[in-house]
Amino acid sequence: MRCRQATRIISDSHERSLTLQEKGGLRLHLAICSHCRNFKQNCDELSQLMKAFANNSRK
């Protein structure tokens, strides 16, 4: 898997559930690629911020 695919899957993971194949490939890629680990962490944090924002604005 290349970084471009990995980052695509990371982005997709916030909008749909991944297939087992995607999850497996992503896990392998993250194990060897610190760039994509950082990207995933940023994406996860952003996603949590967006969720928190959505929750707050619903009150």
Q: Summarize as ranges the residues that interact with Zn ion (CB under 5 A).
A: 3, 6, 33, 35-36
Our CB check for Zn ion shows the closer of 45 and 49 to be 45
How far apart are CB 47 and Zn ion at their closest, in Å?
19
Our CB check for Zn ion shows the closer of 20 and 32 to be 32
Concatenate the DSSP letters of all residues of 1-57 into one string.
Answer: --HHHHHHHHHHTTTSPPPHHHHHHHHHHHHH-HHHHHHHHHHHHHHHHHHHHHHHH
- Residue 59 has what DSSP assignment? -
Our CB check for Zn ion shows the closer of 38 and 50 to be 38
